A and B are shown apart, each in its own frame.
Chain A
Amino acid sequence: MTKTVFEPSIKSRPVYGVLEAAPGSAHLIVADGEGADAVVEMLARAPDAADMLAKTHIIYMPGPSGCDKSAVLQGLGAAQFRSHPSFGAAASRLAKVLADAHMGVQIYTAGSEGMMAQVAAAAAAAGYPYEGVQQEHRGSLARRVQCVHCKGITENVRTDPFHCSHCGLSLFVRDHFSRRIAAFQGVNIDAEDPGLVPAAVERFK
């Protein structure tokens, strides 16, 4: 089971499922932080985990809250396992793996929302259907947010409103989500009454 309960929201807000092993010529798994647990649980339910692992490539990075389960995933015995300090550091490996991949590969991602969306966006950029990427949320709800004004992206946003790390405006965090840039949208909260900014509340733990 996915461990996260999301309040009902607008259609744009992504919803997530539970990873299920599916038939495929190869398996690409990208996870961060607590997403490692979803991977372990999927493999425990898989009809033939040994066969699957022999065709599996795992790319892993610590989560937004610092959770690092590299050792657990490395111990699964996948054909390939690589750990990276961040998604940015893993991105070039992911791009190379996708460029070399063939149809028949199954793509799974588990962990934080921003990381999963960047994996799905990279797959979609390679022509793979966005919805074909299985996503299961685990761990932090910290958001990757794009400032709609300066277009800068702030990672790991926990409070609402927050200060854009690029232009400094106070931004209200919307549930409006962009698949293309893999980020929620942040909109200036005091545009009409400059300086009238409500106190920041920790909404995304």
Chain B
Amino acid sequence: MSVGAPKIPVRVAEVVEVNELIKRFRFVRRDGGAMPTFSGGAHTVVQMDDHGTRRMNPYSLMSAPADTSGYEISVRRDDAGRGGSLYMHQHVKVGDEMVISNPVNLFPLDGRAKKHLMLAGGIGITPFIAQMAQLQAMGGKFELHYSVRSAALGAYASQLKAHYDDRVHLYHDDQKQLIDLKALLRGQPLGTHIYVCGPKGMIAWVRATAEAMGWPALAVHSEEFLAPPVGKPFEVHLKASGKTITVGAAQSLLEAMEAAAVDAPYLCRGGACGQCETDVLGCDGHIDHNDHWLTDDQKAANTKIMPCVSRFAGKSLVLDR
């Protein structure tokens, strides 16, 4: 395929149950070669052949960026999701052959920062594990504030605390421990950058608080992958390909195009990177813009759509693809 990042054929080398919701997977190259080095914050798109349905989910790489012997990801089981995480949890075993993409980084460290202030919520810890390894190797200054539901569900919390000591701060929801964000953001030295990865509400809270306290938007970095939402089936005409396709209820528009052998570009498949941006040639109805990429004005104009996460309801939708 000409689109998306280049693929790496891998074998599953290790599957570890981290806690009742999270499993860690280690991938090594089938040909025994070295993986590309990556930068902390990068993700890989894991391709799954789930009994006839192809799933491609992005997961942050959590192994040390300089370790080329393999890649590690952690997958949180989402019982209400479309099935990618359930497939990883229930079917993927040591020795399985899979295909993953080359790393792509949409959440890199800003090398100009004097200090990196990291805020993680739940499974949002994974990109920070790689970033902290990178910063430690470079002698970079950082602080992690990690919010978890409980000690039992706080993946990697005790290991990180043991390794990085007072640079790691843990907050347990079940003990009513909350990050005192205002106190934390007050008094940070000039040149501090904030990184936040976690639930949508947490990202919005951090962004709004930082803005109200005078932090420039460019000093606040966040990442949230969206799972393509389910919805009602709809029909789309792809003008360049001359095809009319139906997008299923649990299928994304991008997946429906791929199933119809239309070569559509993508990278993150989670509404974050902008790679799949497609021109809308005709729209009689309503586009549910679920992405983080288009501006509010662009969304209102309905002249662009991000097929990886957005859906449509109405009479007709014509795309330039």
- Which A residues contact B (CB, under 8 angstroms)? 22-25, 98-99, 101-106, 124, 126-129, 131-132
Contacts and interface: CB of A to CB of B under 8 A. Distances in A.
B216 A23 contact: no
Contacts of A25: 186, 213-214
Contacts of A126: 114, 190-191
B188 interface: yes
Contacts of B201: none
B200 to A, nearest CB: 24
A74 to B, nearest CB: 25
Contacts of B115: 127
B212 to A, nearest CB: 6
Nearest to A101: B190
A102 B190 contact: yes
B212 A127 contact: no
A104 B216 CA distance: 8
Interface of B: 112-115, 185-193, 211-219
16 contacts: A23-B211, A23-B212, A98-B190, A101-B190, A102-B186, A103-B219, A104-B185, A104-B186, A105-B190, A128-B190, A128-B191, A128-B216, A128-B219, A129-B219, A132-B218, A132-B219
Contacts of B188: 102-104
A104 B188 CA distance: 8
Output the residue of B113, B186, B214 with the most chain A CB within 10 A. Answer: B214
Nearest to A132: B216
Given A103-B188, A103-B215, A104-B188, 16 more contacts: A23-B214, A24-B214, A25-B186, A25-B214, A102-B187, A102-B190, A103-B185, A103-B189, A103-B190, A103-B219, A104-B185, A105-B214, A106-B214, A126-B191, A128-B191, A128-B216
A104 to B, nearest CB: 4
A132 B219 CA distance: 9
Contacts of A105: 190, 214
A55 to B, nearest CB: 10
Given A128-B219, A129-B219, A22 B190 contact: no
Contact of B214 (A22, A127, A129): A22
